[in-house]
């Protein structure tokens, strides 16, 4: 049985591949469980040996894939601190924030078989928790949309600011950046264009747009905190919790 070390493999890439695959499943499942979109656009599939719900809406699926394609280099370099799925009401005020806190501990030499099997078991537990999270959350108001935020570490923010950028018009699929190191992708449920906004295109991250995030999508006043799951493995530590607005209506 082969033992993997940092010298044998780019573990940053391994972590990014594993987490982005997991986050794609998790985002779809959150949107289904929290009824952001009609249940009719979802199909039951199996992932991590458990049933999950995945969207069959092409534009939504492409947006989520593009989002994670943008996030992946940040995870690979250990620059991503949090990935947050924000559910917003019609006024674009957050009602729930599903927060995935990510860190990469010093790696131990372990076998590849043990690595994949152990991590899959841990991620399965996250999926099961998301599947039943509606039991501890209040119903959301109708007409919600969602945003994906990525909080980066300070060093990553400084590096991003040094990258050459060009300015283009803002589309309904956004990737945003604040000076504090917050990156965001926003998908409007009605696919409406937002006017008089601009975004920056980062030429070193697959020409993906980075724009300033709306403060109202970032902060929530006095939320209720609901811990869901924590995992620790040889390649990544992650915890998931929900911040829920006390009054949703």
Over residues 85-89, mean pLDDT: 91
1 within a domain of the structure (yes/no)? no
Give CA–CA dist 70/49, Å, rounded.
Answer: 27
Summarised one tens digit per residue, pLDDT across range 2-32 is 455 544 457 778 888 999 999 999 999 999 9
Q: What angle do CA 149, 153, 157 make, to 5 degrees?
A: 85
> Torsion angle of alpha carbons 136, 27, 154, 217, nearest 10°?
-70
Half-sphere exposure of 180 (CA within 13 A, CB side): 12
User: Residue 180 has what pLDDT?
Assistant: 35
Residue 116 lies in a domain: yes
Cα 190 to Cα 36, 45, 187: the distances in Å are 11, 26, 9
CA–CA dist 11, 148 (Å, integer): 25
Q: Sorting pLDDT into bands at 50, 70 and 90, what band is 38?
A: very high
For residue 239, list its beta bridge partners: 101, 230
The whole-number pLDDT of residue 154 equals 64
Instruction: Decide if 201 contacts 185 (C-beta within 8 A).
Output: no
Determine, yes or no, domain membership for 219.
yes
**Domain extent for 143:** 11-172+207-245
Domain assignment present for 85:
yes
**Domains: count for the chain:** 1
Query: What average pLDDT is seen over the chain?
Result: 75
User: Is 145 within a domain?
Assistant: yes
Residue range 128-169, pLDDT digits in tens: 999 999 999 999 999 999 888 888 876 555 555 443 332 222
Per-residue pLDDT, averaged over 214-221, amounts to 72
Query: Residues 90-142: pLDDT tens digits?
Result: 988 899 999 999 987 765 555 555 567 788 889 999 999 999 999 999 999 99
Alpha-carbon span 217 to 78, nearest angstrom: 24
According to DSSP H, which parts of the chain are helical?
A: 11-33, 58-76, 112-131, 154-162
pTM of the shown model: 0.78
Place of tokens 């917003």: 88
Domain assignment present for residue 25? The answer is: yes
| CATH number reported for the structural domain that contains residue 155 in this entry | 3.30.900.10
Within-domain flag for 190: no
Residue ranges with strand state E in 8-128? 42-47, 50-55, 80-88, 94-103, 110-111
Residue 34 lies in a domain: yes
Mean pLDDT for 182-207 is 36
């Amino acid at each position: 049985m082969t033992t993997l070390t940092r010298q044998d493999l780019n573990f940053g890439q391994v972590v990014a591949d594993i987490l982005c695959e997991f986050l794609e499943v998790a985002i779809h499942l959150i949107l289904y469980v929290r009824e952001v979109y009609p249940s009719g656009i979802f199909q039951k599939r199996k992932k991590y040996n458990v049933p999950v719900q995945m969207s069959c809406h092409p534009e939504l699926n492409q947006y989520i894939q593009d989002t994670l394609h943008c996030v992946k280099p940040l995870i690979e370099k250990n620059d991503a601190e949090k990935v947050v799925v924000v559910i917003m009401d019609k006024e674009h005020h957050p009602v729930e924030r599903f927060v995935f806190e990510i860190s990469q501990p010093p790696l131990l030499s372990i076998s590849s078989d043990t690595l994949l099997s152990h991590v899959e078991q841990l991620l399965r537990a996250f999926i099961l928790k998301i599947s039943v999270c509606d039991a501890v959350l209040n119903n959301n108001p109708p007409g919600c949309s969602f945003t994906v935020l990525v909080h980066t570490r300070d060093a990553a923010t400084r590096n991003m600011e040094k990258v050459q950028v060009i300015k283009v018009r803002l589309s309904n699929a956004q990737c945003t950046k604040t000076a504090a190191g917050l990156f965001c992708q926003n998908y409007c449920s009605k696919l409406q264009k937002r006017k008089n906004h601009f975004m920056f295109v980062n030429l070193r991250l697959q020409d993906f747009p980075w724009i300033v995030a709306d403060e109202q999508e970032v902060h929530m006043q006095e939320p209720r905190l609901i811990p869901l799951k924590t995992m620790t493995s040889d390649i990544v530590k992650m915890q998931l919790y929900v911040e829920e607005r006390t009054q949703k209506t």
